[in-house]
Structures are given as structure tokens and as C-alpha cells.
């Protein structure tokens, strides 16, 4: 959070600084608007109202000028004397991204101050209130005597993460008012503990009455040394604080070793627990076993009882375990037990159709495949192929007119976003862009995408073109910047160019200087140590600062991809390895050959699962754009070989 030093400076004093700010820099020259803006941004991040005011005169008439007033107000939101200026900004910039962001932050400040009258007046203009604002809204209703808000506020209680302060304050109020009892508190404690959120759970434990909280030492031991604690299992687990601590220990053990946890649960713990708690623990252990691809997972799900008692996430993992076991009846029954929203997701519609087909209901399977066959995603493409069709590019491609592009260029939000991209403030730029295109029709979206393309902001061009529903431009959705370089190095490495492009589209959206939080760089998102290893292998000399240069990055990235492919022998495994590492990709293989789509669906990491699905789907569309002969997605997925006992080559 931005430091709020000097946040109580009166607006009048800041205005005086603005008035007295000299018209020139210490060197006697006025800075450019760009330099002044970046200096103002640094001042904002440092929490300095004085430095921010010093730069403001140089930004008059600049496209990003509204940011300076926005930053000034952000630094004063906890001071009620700034409220009038906030209201004036919201009126002047109504409908803008900055107005929405300022309104949300002001509402949070009003909630912290318990200024409920102003809070409720400002709330109506916020498009999508986050959880903390919703909690403050419930608190505002309670403050004016509407106690029905307490019941609505129970929705926050099942959120499996740390609650923001506004919600924690409301929870304390609900406990004091008797609207959350001991069982409610324990329900949330268990939710957080079993999800690994120990710090958040401790804050909820503080709401328990004296004598009801678990022993802190026992809870810590359950978290860090569950085996040792479970070896000291007491005879009596009737007291809930003791029982919950030992159940928590078993969940920690299950994350490390589901097989060992199942042994402890079956031999020692189950007989001392209420039946409902035993079933919950079996469901937890079974889900961890399914993530680890243990064949016993389905057996342990059976110990958990009927599917109706499982959460959607547990049912999803039961389906994945059944897919790996070839148990199509369990696939169908478990999807039947999912909530309507989850069972209608493309993945589960597809696998439900496959289960119906495997069980002989071809007419039903056909109907379910039809439900998703027009969707240009992984399971939509597979469903289309199951119906006997090939996936082709749309017959009509819409290219926006120059008039439409000119109109997009005049959009204030897009104009600000492009200037922010030019200044390399990608985070702010992307938020401006996303807000600006909300509600645009297909014509406007494609015009905005063309505008981004001309500015070489390839990720926005792709993502914006991806949002159209009727008008399509797949050349924009599947851009091919640096085509000569990718083609050259794909051929040199004997790789499918469509696959390389599909992977890069997912890695960086063709942003040359892309950099991940982990430090991966460039178009093919190479970690420096991986790039160094590849360069040493192929005898290429380069400097670290060249890793973001397109020629160097593509040369190293394609050679690395080829090494991974040769090492693992299958493009699905190589795609998974590029995201999660070769050893993980190899470990996720089964003891027997596995259908490629089943391997992908059962990847334990959601990020990697989505990544592989998108890379392989991208490949189909890039192949079509490159004029390659059609190869069905199901054929590209093929059959993943059985897990090999041989040692992997030393590929990072």
C-alpha cells in the first residue's frame, strides 16, 4: 500500500505549494511532460504530497494530467477535509477508470471511519464492489437499524481466505450480537485450517469464548510436525478444540503423504471421530490422493460416502481420478452430483459426453458435444472433432475501417492507456485499457485491437480481439509478430512452427520485454539460469541484458523447447514441462499409456493445466493460419507414454 506520509496536510496547503512551485527545474529548464509525470509517479509511490505538487504545473494539458490529482487525493483519503475534492473529481471524471478506482478507495476510507451516511451516498456509483466494500455496506445497513444485513453478511463466512479488516470488524460485531455462534466460528476455523491458511484461522480462533480455543502449542505442532502429534493420539477426542487440532494434523499429513494419512485415519483416528468428521477427512485424503495420481483415490472417495456430500472441487478431482482409471460410470455420476454452475463448464460438459458415449448413450453424448462445439477453446475444439467435424477458421474476417480506428484513438481511456504503455507503466496501462473496453461492441473491440497492434502492444491486441462474439478476426486473435525469426528457429530446431507460436502466445503474448514475477524474461519467458544452461550447451555467447532481445530470446527458447521435447518425447509433456518443469511433467505420467486429454485434465496445478490446454488449442489455430494440413487436436494430444523408470537427462 502506498505510504501515506503527510496525508493530513490540508488541501489548502497543497494548493499553496502548487502556486509557489517554480516554473523551471533547478537546472533552469522545464522538464518534459513525460519526465514530470514519471517524477510525479515516484512522488506518489513515496507518499510525498509536496514532491507531487512540485511536478503538477508541468503537466497542464498532458493526456495523463488527471493522474496527478488522483494521486494527490489517494494520499489524503483518510482525511475528511479531502472529501469535497474527492466528490469534485468523481463528478469531473465520471465514467473513467480513475473515478471508479478513487470511488472504491474512498469508500474503503469512509468505511474505516464509519462515516455511513457518506458511504451509502457514494456506494451507488461503484460498479463492482469487492468483499471489503460489501462488508462495509452490510455494516452501514446495521448502523441504520437494518439487522437483516447480518444474514446477508454470512456470505463472507465461507470465503476460504483471509478476510479484509472491514469484514473482520463486522464478524466481531456479529459475534457480539449473537449472530455467529461457536459452531459457526469452528466451521470457519476448519475451512481455513484445512485450506492451509493458519494465520487467518488464528484470527478467527480469537473470536471463540474462553476455554473453547485449541491449545496454541498443539496447533503449531499440528502444522509443522503432524506425524509427531498424530503419534500421541489421545483416547478422548470429544472436546472440539482437541479434535479439530488432530484433524488439522491429518490434513497436513495428507498434503505430504496421502497414503500415510489414509493409514492413520483408517487404523487410529476414524473410530474416535463422529461419522461426519470421518467422512470429511476421507474426502480430503482422497482429493489429495487424486492430485498425486494415487490409484487408491477412488477407494478412499468411497469411504467418504455419497457424492452429494462432496464439494465441487472434490468432485472435480474424483472425476479426474476416474478418468485416469477408465471408470466412466464414476465420471458420469460425479459430474451429476456437481452444482449446476460447475457441471456446465466446458470441461465437465465434454467429459460427461465422453462418459455417456462410453456407456452406450450415443444420442445423449451427441447432445452434450453440441452444447460446447462452437466454443473456440480446448474442450470446444475436442467436442467439435467428436461430432466428426474439423475446426476451421471463420469464413468471414472483419477488418475495422480507418474511421473506426480513428474513433478508438479518440477514446480518452484508450489514449491514456497507450501513453502509459509508452512510458512502460504496464500495470496502470493495462488497468486503464481493460476498463476502457468494457461494454464495447464487436466493431469497437476490433478497432481498439487494431489500435493496440499499431502501437505494438500485442497482448492488448490479442486479448481485445479475443472478446468479440459475432464479428471475428482470427489473424488478430492469433498474431504472428517476429514471424521470420520464429519460422527460422523453428525450422533450425525441427519444431512445429504452429506449436512454437502457440506456446509464445501463452507465455508472453509477444511482448518483447515481458518479465514474470519469478524473473523469466522475453518472448519465450526464459529464466536467466535456464538461458545460461542452453547457451553453454549450444556454444552461444550472449550478455544477460540481451535476453529480452527477440533474436537471442527466440534462439535460446526454441533450442530449450527442442531439448525438452527430445527428453520427454511428446509435445503435451514438453508443453507441461515448459511451464512446470520436466521432472513434474514426467512424474504426472501414469504407469500405463494415457490418453493425452486425460493427462492434461489431471495435471495437478491449475495454472499448468490451463496453460497446456491453451498452448495445444493455439497450435490448431496457428496451423490453420499458416496453411498447414489439418491435424485434429485429439491427434495432437495423442497418447502420453507410461512413466519411465529411466533417469531424465539434466534438463532444468
Angle between helices 198-205 and 216-224 (to 10 degrees): 160
Integer Cα distance of 352 and 543 in angstroms? 52
Q: Are 381 and 425 in contact (CB under 8 A)?
A: no
Integer Cα distance of 273 and 280 in angstroms? 11
CB under 8 Å, gap of 24 or more: what pairs does 582-585 form?
Answer: 582/648, 582/651, 582/652, 583/648, 584/608
Integer Cα distance of 208 and 187 in angstroms? 12
**Cell for 362?**
450415443
Integer Cα distance of 394 and 382 in angstroms? 17
Q: Are 189 and 244 in contact (CB under 8 A)?
A: yes
Integer Cα distance of 350 and 379 in angstroms? 6
By three-state DSSP, how is residue 640 classified?
strand
Q: What is the DSSP string of 611-637?
A: HHHHHHHHHHHHHHHTTPPP--HHHHH
CB atoms within 10 A of CB 123: 18
| Residue 34 annotated as catalytic | no
Q: Which of 386, 432, 507, 595 is catalytic?
A: 507
| Closest C-alpha among 104, 1, 75, 634 to residue 369 | 634
Q: Are 625 and 486 in contact (CB under 8 A)?
A: no
Q: Are 165 and 179 in contact (CB under 8 A)?
A: no
Q: Are 426 and 509 in contact (CB under 8 A)?
A: no
| Closest C-alpha among 535, 516, 532, 641 to residue 579 | 516
Integer Cα distance of 61 and 33 in angstroms? 9
**Cell for 271?**
473410530
By three-state DSSP, how is residue 608 classified?
helix
CB atoms within 10 A of CB 224: 12
Which residues are designated catalytic? 507
Amino acid at each position: 500500500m502506498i505510504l501515506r506520509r503527510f496525508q493530513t496536510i490540508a488541501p489548502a496547503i497543497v494548493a499553496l505549494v502548487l502556486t509557489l512551485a517554480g516554473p523551471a527545474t533547478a537546472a533552469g529548464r522545464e522538464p518534459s511532460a513525460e519526465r514530470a509525470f514519471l517524477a510525479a509517479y515516484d512522488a506518489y509511490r513515496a507518499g510525498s504530497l509536496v514532491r507531487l505538487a512540485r511536478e503538477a504545473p508541468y503537466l497542464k494539458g498532458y493526456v495523463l494530467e488527471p493522474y496527478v490529482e488522483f494521486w494527490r487525493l489517494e494520499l489524503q483519503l483518510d482525511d475528511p477535509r479531502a472529501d469535497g475534492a474527492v466528490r469534485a473529481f468523481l463528478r469531473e471524471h465520471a465514467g473513467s477508470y480513475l473515478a471508479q478506482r478513487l470511488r472504491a478507495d474512498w469508500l474503503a476510507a469512509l468505511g474505516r471511519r464509519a462515516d455511513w451516511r457518506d458511504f451509502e451516498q457514494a456506494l451507488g456509483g461503484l460498479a463492482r464492489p469487492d468483499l471489503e466494500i460489501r462488508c462495509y455496506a452490510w455494516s452501514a445497513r446495521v448502523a441504520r437499524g437494518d439487522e437483516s444485513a447480518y444474514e446477508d453478511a454470512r456470505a463472507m463466512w465461507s470465503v476460504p481466505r483471509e478476510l479484509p479488516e472491514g469484514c473482520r470488524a463486522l464478524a466481531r460485531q456479529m459475534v457480539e450480537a449473537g449472530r455467529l455462534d461457536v459452531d459457526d466460528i469452528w466451521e470457519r476455523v476448519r475451512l481455513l485450517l484445512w485450506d492451509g491458511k493458519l494465520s487467518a484461522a488464528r484470527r478467527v480462533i480469537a473470536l471463540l469464548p474462553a476455554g473453547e480455543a485449541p491449545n496454541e502449542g498443539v496447533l503449531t505442532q499440528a502444522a509443522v510436525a503432524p506425524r509427531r502429534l498424530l503419534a500421541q493420539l489421545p483416547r478422548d477426542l470429544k472436546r472440539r478444540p482437541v479434535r479439530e487440532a488432530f484433524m488439522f494434523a491429518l490434513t497436513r499429513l495428507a498434503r505430504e503423504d496421502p497414503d500415510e494419512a489414509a493409514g492413520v485415519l483408517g487404523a487410529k483416528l476414524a473410530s474416535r471421530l463422529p461419522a461426519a468428521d470421518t467422512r470429511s477427512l476421507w474426502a480430503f485424503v482422497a482429493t489429495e490422493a487424486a492430485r498425486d495420481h494415487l490409484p487408491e483415490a477412488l477407494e478412499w472417495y468411497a469411504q467418504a460416502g455419497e457424492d452429494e456430500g462432496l464439494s465441487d472441487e472434490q468432485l472435480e478431482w474424483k472425476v479426474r481420478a476416474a478418468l485416469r482409471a477408465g471408470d466412466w460410470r464414476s465420471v458420469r455420476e460425479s459430474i451429476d452430483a456437481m452444482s449446476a454452475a460447475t457441471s456446465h463448464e466446458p470441461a465437465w460438459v465434454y467429459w460427461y459426453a465422453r462418459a455417456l458415449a462410453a456407456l452406450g448413450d450415443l444420442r445423449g453424448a451427441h447432445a452434450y458435444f453440441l452444447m460446447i462445439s462452437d466454443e473456440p477453446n480446448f474442450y470446444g475444439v475436442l467436442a467439435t472433432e467428436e461430432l466428426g467435424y474439423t475446426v476451421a477458421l471463420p469464413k468471414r474476417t472483419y477488418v475495422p475501417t480507418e474511421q473506426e480506428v480513428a474513433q478508438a484513438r479518440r477514446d480518452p481511456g484508450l489514449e491514456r492507456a497507450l501513453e502509459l504503455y509508452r512510458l512502460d507503466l504496464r500495470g496502470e496501462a493495462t488497468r486503464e485499457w481493460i476498463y476502457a473496453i468494457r461494454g464495447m461492441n464487436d466493431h469497437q473491440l476490433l478497432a481498439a485491437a487494431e489500435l493496440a497492434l499499431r502501437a505494438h502492444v500485442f497482448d492488448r491486441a490479442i486479448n481485445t480481439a479475443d472478446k468479440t462474439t459475432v464479428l471475428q478476426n482470427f489473424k488478430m486473435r492469433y498474431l504472428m509478430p517476429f514471424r521470420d525469426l520464429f519460422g527460422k528457429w523453428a525450422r533450425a530446431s525441427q519444431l512445429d512452427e504452429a506449436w512454437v507460436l502457440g506456446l509464445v502466445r501463452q507465455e508472453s503474448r509477444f511482448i518483447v520485454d515481458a518479465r514474470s514475477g519469478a524473473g523469466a524474461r522475453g518472448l519465450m519467458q526464459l529464466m536467466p539460469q535456464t538461458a545460461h544452461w542452453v547457451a553453454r550447451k549450444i556454444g552461444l555467447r550472449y550478455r544477460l541484458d540481451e535476453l529480452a532481445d527477440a533474436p537471442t530470446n527466440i534462439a535460446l527458447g526454441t533450442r530449450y523447447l527442442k531439448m525438452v521435447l527430445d527428453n520427454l518425447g511428446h509435445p503435451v509433456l514438453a508443453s507441461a514441462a515448459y511451464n512446470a518443469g520436466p521432472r513434474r511433467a514426467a512424474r504426472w505420467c501414469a504407469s500405463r499409456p494415457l490418453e493425452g486429454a486425460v493427462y492434461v485434465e489431471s495435471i495437478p496445478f491449475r495454472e499448468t493445466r490451463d496453460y497446456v490446454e491453451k498452448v495445444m488449442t493455439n497450435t490448431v489455430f496457428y496451423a490453420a493460419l499458416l496453411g498447414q494440413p489439418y491435424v485434429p487436436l485429439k491427434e495432437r494430444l495423442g497418447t502420453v507414454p507410461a512413466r519411465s523408470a529411466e533417469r531424465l537427462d539434466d534438463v532444468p
